[in-house]
Amino acid sequence: MAVSVAAAQEPPPGAFVEKVSFFNGGQYRYYVYEPVTKVETPWLVILLHGSGSNGKVARAGSAFEFEKLAEEHGGIVVYPEGYEKHWNDCRPDTDFATARDGKHDVGFLVNLKSDMMRTYNVDPDRVLLAGTSNGAHMVYRAALERPASFAAYAAFAANLTIDETVKCIPSGIPVDMMIIAGTDDPVSPYQGGTVSVFGKLQGDVRSAQATANYWVDLAGYDTPPGEIEHLDVNEEDESTVTSYIWSAEGKPRVHFMTVNGGGHVLPHPDMTFPPFFGNANKDVNGPRMMWEFFAGTFED
C-alpha cells in the first residue's frame, strides 16, 4: 500500500538511477543506488515495495539504510516496481492487476538479478531479496518456488498464505529466512486471519509464528531457538523487540523478530509513519538487522 514516510536523515551521496527492464512482454521500472564507494564484486539487495507503492517510497521507508550499508560494505541496492504498483504473490484472492493478468514476477526478479550481474558485476552468491507487506508476500513466493535464486530472504509485515488457498507450488527446499512481525499490525494480523487494506480484504494468512515455524521445520530444526530480548532504548515508543534465532552448521538460518506492540511499520530509530499503520518501534534498526542476517550467509 502507498504510505508517506519521513526519515530524519538525508540519503548518502551516490547516484540514484532510474532504469527500465523488459521481461516476458512487459515493462518494469526500477531504481538503482550506485554508491560512491566502488568494489570489484559488490553484493546486492533487492527491496520490494508494498501494495500500491513504488521504489522511491521503499527507499525512503527503509531510511536509506541499505544505501548507507552499500557505501560502508561494498554493495548495490535496487528498488524494482511491480506491475501497476503490486506484486503477484501467493494469495489467489487479491484484486491486483498483476495477479489478474498472471504476471510472472518471480521470473522478472530472477532476470533482474542477472541484469545486475551483467551491469554491475554483482556477486551471484551474495544477493538478498527483501520486501515489505505485498513485497514481503512476493519474497515468500520467490523463496517457495525459486529458493536457490537468492542467497537469503527477508520479509517484513506479512505472513504466509494459508495452505487451503495458496496458489504457489512450494519446492520444499529450505532457505535462509528473516521475518519481522508486529503483534499489533492492523493490516497483516499477527495471530493470522484476513489481511485488510483500507477495508479491502486481501486473502487469508497464517499467524506470524506459524509462518516462522514453516521455515524452521523445512530447515530441519527440532530444538528451541536462541532468544534475544533487545534493549528497550526508547521507552516512549511503547514497544519492545524479541528475536528468536535458529542456527546450526550445515542448515539455513531462520530469524524471527517479534515487535511487541509494533504495527505495520519497519522498526527504525529515526522513522515516522502515519498513525493508521500502528505503533513504530524505535529500539532497533530493522534494515541494518536484515543486512546483518544477510551478511551472515557469506561471512561465516
Per-residue pLDDT, 93: 82
Nine-digit cell at 172?
520444499
- 112 Cα distance to chain centroid: 16
Between CA 129 and CA 132 the distance in angstroms is 11
Q: Cβ distance 129 to 153 under 8 Å? A: yes
pTM exceeds cut of 0.85 = yes
> Which residues, listed in sequence order, are joined to residue 156 by a DSSP beta bridge?
132, 180
Cβ neighbours of residue 207 closer than 8 Å, sequence gap 6 or more: 159, 189, 190, 191, 192
Instruction: Compute the residue count for the chain.
Output: 300
Per domain, the residue ranges of the chain are 6-299
Residue ranges of the chain with per-residue pLDDT less than 70:
1-8, 299-300
**Which of 77, 30, 73 lies closest to 55 in space, CA to CA?**
30
The Cα–Cα gap between 123 and 41 comes to 6
Spatial contact of 218 and 166, defined as CB atoms under 8 Å apart: no
Fold of 6-299: Rossmann fold (3.40.50)
Which pLDDT does position 298 carry in this prediction?
A: 77
Please name the amino acid found at residue 297.
T
Tell me, what's the pLDDT at 197?
86
